[in-house]
A and B are shown apart, each in its own frame.
Chain A
Amino acid sequence: MTPIVRPVTVPSFWNDTGKSGVAAWIFSTDHKRIGLLYLYSVLAFFLVGMTLGGLLRIELMAPGRTIVGPQTYNALFTVHGVVMIFLFIIPAFPGAFGNMVMPIQIGARDVAFPRLNLLSWWLYVLGATIIIVSLFTGDGPPDTGWTFYLPFSERTGTNVSLAVFGVFIVGFSSILTGINFVTTIHQLRAEGMSWGRLPLFVWSLYATAWVQILATPILGITLVLIIAERLLGTGLFDPGRGGDPLMYQHLFWIYSHPAVYIMILPAMGAITEIIPVFSRKPIFGYKMIAFSSIAIASAGSLVWGHHMFTSGMSDRAILIFSFLTFVVAIPSAIKVFNWVSTLYKGSISLEAPMLFALSFILLFSIGGLTGLILGAAATNIHVHDTHFVVGHFHYVMFGGAGFAFFGAMHYWLPKFYGRRYAEKPALAAWVLMFIGFNITYFSMMLLGVKGMPRRYYDYLPEFAPLNLVSTVGSWILISGVILLLINLFRGLWKGEPIGNNPWGGATLEWTIPSPPPTENFDADPVVTHGPYDFRKTGMP
């Protein structure tokens, strides 16, 4: 077996158990190794999804057929959506950084159920494999969109059943992570780590974990019902047989809107760690940020109907869902105001993690505010199912969660490799990504306002100029991502060694060696100060 080489030669979780073969990784119950397994898996799928997204943009570069026909285009956006949502952004934060960082931040040696943790990664791999198999077997890859709306997903001849089954399995992996994190945060906090001293990243994972536990089973049931419709012809959602297609949309969005919070809450948590450290100032409004995570998770579970304003839902329901959607904007805005207040009069240092954090605030705010345009029942009618929606959700999921993920990679990965990336290329990558991102997706929002629908491989000639702009933007964006990954991983394997606390953070992960030993702490830590009390870190 090829041993996996490790970046730094001090004793650490890379080598201190004496086991470093492939088996010692894929069967490891160490939360740091499982976190890295998750990191590499979700990154691999991100690259797949990014390639598919690039192909979508190339097809839309000019009117008419550019590289693929309509059927292939339908498959491309479906697989792009499924991969990005279920295999990248939902598992990304809890699976990778939740696993790697959270136990250390609360002063624990591992999660509460290490073997369940390993099982959750294996279920993810199994589900992902089934999804991949579904693309190359049966009568072609699914062409339904990532939402699998019935009755179309029942009638299409493509391989929907198998793909849906794969997503079903991935759902279990998410539930297991949620159960594990709730238990860990309740049971394994170190002495002195009261709820009021929990790092806000942990608070955000806690809120996320409850959403994973309570909402994911509903996705599971919904997916099983799709398979039942296809294989048994139950007719639950098929109007031709007395079924109710709107009921499918309810079930799907009861999970899939809260799923947006599985993506964004831990991303916000990571941002909340980065901003005070790079402003050299305690976080402003600790309690309100912790509270707003819980508020977003609970209120956000009651807004799913805003995806159905044009579907023929009752007017009363439209009114209520529209109102509730506006309510969720309040805790989200609380967070934004608290981040900005933390920056105020801070000693701001613009290194890579901070740049991603600052751009997160802007891009997420654009995503959130355009969300209100969609959440208002009246304006929604005009932009529903247009490229405005595509622009909006990329601002939230990519400009928000995605940028936070890249920021978190620059912030935390040096801790786990003991080495760091070069700063200048990281800045260049950020500039490319930020510019490319806005060109790509702002153009899409403009196109949507002009009326260009989503999920079509072709469009009217008047939409051509902005589509070309958007496609060129996607090239800038993608080159930024590639530069970022090359620079980051080169640095992690070969870069300058770092000390225990390169950024001057005050949370527990910065008190132990980089990379950490398998047991994390020599002696059980006793926590005596809050997570943003920088007086004790000995940094300028």
Chain B
Amino acid sequence: MAAEQNEQHIVSYGKLIAVWAVLLALTSLTVWISRLHLGVNRVWGSLAIASCKGGLVIAFFMHMRYEGRLLRWVLFVTLATLSIFIGVTFFDVLYR
């Protein structure tokens, strides 16, 4: 465990640039979607794309992909808590 933690994982430039390109593509997708007439689905669509982008940043730029199971769990619990809080707030915001 200790040895694992001290090891620095080096991500190649190629991979980082590829991820960046995907992020840019997703950003254009968001812009494109916002121009379509999809009603409420537009919000869900944008949220889905934003989550994918966040996931990529966390996995590659923040190295979560190369971390141990514990850290992933901690991140998961935190994000799950946050989404539950936001989700429950929607019972008010959506139906007011």
Contact = CB atoms under 8 A, between A and B. Distances in A.
Contact of B91 (A246, A301, A312, A316): A316
Contacts of A316: 91-92, 95
B90 to A, nearest CB: 9
B91 A302 contact: no
B85 A254 contact: yes
Contacts of B95: 314-317
15 contacts: A214-B77, A214-B78, A250-B89, A254-B85, A254-B89, A305-B88, A305-B91, A312-B96, A314-B92, A314-B93, A314-B95, A314-B96, A317-B91, A320-B91, A321-B91
A2 B94 CA distance: 62
Interface in B48-96: 77-78, 81, 84-85, 88-89, 91-96
Nearest to A311: B92
Nearest to A186: B70
A321 B88 CA distance: 9
A305 B92 contact: yes
A330 interface: no
Interface in A292-318: 301-302, 305, 308, 312-317
A-B pairs with lowest CB-CB distance, top 10: A317-B92, A314-B95, A317-B91, A314-B96, A316-B95, A313-B92, A314-B92, A214-B81, A250-B89, A320-B91
Contacts of A321: 91
Contact of B96 (A218, A313, A320): A313
Interface in A265-304: 301-302
Contacts of A218: 85
Is the interface on chain A under 10, 10 to 19, 20 to 34, or 35 or more residues? 10 to 19
Contacts of A314: 91-96
Contacts of B91: 305, 314, 316-317, 320-321
A214 B78 CA distance: 7
A308 B96 CA distance: 13
B35 to A, nearest CB: 24
Interface string A250-270: 100010000000000000000
A302 B78 contact: no
B41 to A, nearest CB: 21
Contacts of B88: 302, 305, 320
- Secondary structure at chain B's binding surface: helix, strand, loop or mixed? helix
A9 B89 CA distance: 57
Interface residues of B, number: 13
Contacts of A315: 95
B94 to A, nearest CB: 8
Interface string A132-173: 000000000000000000000000000000000000000000
A250 B91 CA distance: 11
Contacts of B81: 214, 301
Nearest to B70: A186
Contacts of A317: 91-92, 95
A370 to B, nearest CB: 24
Contacts of B89: 250, 254
A250 B92 contact: yes
B92 A246 contact: yes
Nearest to B90: A317
Nearest to A316: B95
Contacts of B94: 314
Interface in A367-416: none
Interface string B17-61: 000000000000000000000000000000000000000000000
Contacts of A320: 88, 91
A313 B94 CA distance: 10
A41 B77 CA distance: 33
A302 B87 CA distance: 10
A250 B86 CA distance: 10
Nearest to A210: B77
Nearest to B77: A214
Contacts of A246: 92, 96
Interface in A222-259: 246, 250, 254
B55 to A, nearest CB: 21
A60 B64 CA distance: 58
Contacts of A312: 96
Contact of A302 (B77, B84, B92, B93): B84
A254 B93 CA distance: 15
B77 to A, nearest CB: 8
A305 B95 CA distance: 14
Nearest to B78: A214
A242 B94 CA distance: 17
A250 B96 CA distance: 14
A313 B93 CA distance: 8
Contacts of B78: 214
**Most chain A beta carbons < 10 A, residue from B77, B78, B85, B92:** B92
Contacts of A302: 84, 88
Contacts of A254: 85, 89
Contacts of B93: 314
A316 B78 CA distance: 26
A308 B93 CA distance: 13
A336 B88 CA distance: 29
Nearest to A213: B78
Given A314-B95, A314-B96, 13 more contacts: A214-B81, A218-B85, A301-B81, A301-B84, A305-B88, A313-B92, A313-B96, A314-B92, A314-B93, A316-B92, A320-B88, A320-B91, A321-B91
A321 B93 CA distance: 14
A320 B90 CA distance: 11
A302 B85 CA distance: 7
A321 B29 CA distance: 37
